[in-house]
Amino acid sequence: MSDAIHLIAAKQLVTVDETFGTPANPLGVIEDAVMVFDAEKILWVGERDRYPENLYSDACWLIDPKLTEDKVILPGLIDSHTHPVFAGDRAKEFEQRLQGVSYQEIAANGGGIQTTVKATREASEEELFALAKKRLERMLSFGVTSVEAKSGYGLDRQSELKSLRVIARLQQALQMRIVPTYMGAHDIPDEYKANPDQYVQRLCDELIPEVAESALAEFCDVFCDEGYFNAEQSRAILQAAQNHGLGIRIHADEFKAIGGCEVAGDLKAASADHLLNITDSGIAALKAGETVATLLPGTAFYLRLPYAPAKKILEAGIPLALATDFNPGSCMSENLQLVMTLACLQMRMTPAEVIKAVTIQAAKALKLEHQKGSLALGKSPDFVVFDVANYQELLYHFGVNFVEHVVIGATLVHTTHARPPLPCLSSFD
Ligand code: NIG
Ligand code: FE
């Protein structure tokens, strides 16, 4: 790895770092800023005319400052809840939903997750890899530098391991940080529909220990909702995961509050996600468990459901993250920027709350907050240059992609320029 030291200039450097934050400037925005970094960490951040010129005498510009000094730089966005490994599509079910059939009715008739499970079981590892790679690259093009990726469309032992291997191969192929989650409890497989408890037992005694042993997953997730796994089953699954050293997260209160948040809080899960129907007791449980609330407004939009009570959750002092929930059934979009605008308009979150939710809070949801999620000294130099005049424009002007450059670990991994800007202009002025 190169040990070169680079500089980048910005009109606004949105650090999301408490060191620079004040009540009037909650995101720690530095105007007319410069950031200095090597391949591993951020070395200096501040106003450009305060940079001590000879601090790093061999530092050079990663991108010509004339190309970025009127742009806004944010920490690389973090999408902390996605389901990118699947084959097939659900366009037919989309049309059925437009005719008034609900998501749950489609699932009860053997469609829904099971449609995708059939296609995913039949697909080869190679096919799944190619499909998922395209999806993650699309996320990257929207400014995402770290992403959580779940299995969960295989449901049998082999197909789940196949999906997790795909995620491991994606981590080898892409520079994004990919956090793998085992979601064998995404649905009850057809083979066990008559006896779900038997599947739960198998998950706890055999499948989770094997996945943990394989080191193919960092987290285990469960879909705790009516018609899927109940609270007691979810607790058993997540407890087994914890006993085998996996981090835990949960899909809770999407359709009905059946105790998922209470399980999350009790077990101190890293994150509880969806929460469209969260109750006061669920809010209290997340607060007590220091569990991040991850809201997925793209799913409420796509299923035309009421949105989660974001303001109430924030007022309770719970860290709130936002993610896409990218998946073929309930949110077929990789666009985290669109989700950010939905959060403003439909859940009345402020632009500052939204930006924290897709950076530092999403990092917390993945236990990455010590390396990612803000442009703080010592953290990874993962950042995005957006072609906007101020950070609010990113939320206000919606449905377009403002990403101009994406940098991960001092490497320009994505650019909209036909000829990538050359690094290493050496003089500082
Ligand atoms: O997060 N809620 C559970 N799972 C997905 C939907 C999966 C699907 O419909 O394929 C979700 O919304
Ligand atoms: Fe999900």
What are the pLDDT digits (tens) for 113-138? 999 999 999 999 999 999 999 999 99
Q: Answer yes or no: is pLDDT of 400 > 80.
A: yes
Mutate to test the pocket of ligand 1, among 327, 332, 339 (most ligand atoms within 8 A of CB): 327
pLDDT value of position 419 = 84
In angstroms, what is the span from residue 115 Cα to ligand 1's centroid? 12
Q: Is the CB of 113 under 6 A from ligand 1?
A: yes
Tokens representing residue 282 in the block: 């669920």
Residue 82, ligand 1, Cβ within 6 A: no
CA distance 327 to 270: 21
What pLDDT shows up at residue 425? 66
Sequence-distant contacts of 103-112: CB under 8 A, at least 24 apart? 103/303, 103/329, 103/330, 104/226, 104/227, 104/255, 107/227, 108/227, 112/187, 112/329
pLDDT of res. 427: 57
pLDDT band at 424 (very low <50, low <70, confident <90, very high): low
Q: Establish how many alpha carbons lie within 13 A of residue 393's alpha carbon, considering only the half-sphere containing its beta carbon.
A: 14
Q: Report the mean per-residue pLDDT for the chain.
A: 96
Q: Where are the alpha helices (DSSP H) in 80-230?
A: 91-98, 103-108, 113-122, 125-141, 157-173, 196-202, 208-214
* Spatial separation of the C-alpha atoms in residues 154 and 163, rounded to whole Å: 7
Region 1-19 average pLDDT: 91
List of long-range contacts for 193-199, beta carbons under 8 Å, 24+ apart: 196/229, 196/233, 197/233
Reply yes or no on whether the pLDDT at 3 is more than 90.
no
pLDDT reading at 341 higher than 60? yes
Distance 186 CA to ligand 1 centre (A): 8
The whole-number pLDDT of residue 216 equals 98
d(CA 388, CA 212): 43
Tell me the average pLDDT across 56-69: 94
Query: Residue 420 has what pLDDT?
Result: 80
- Examine the pLDDT at 335 and tell me if it is beyond 80: yes
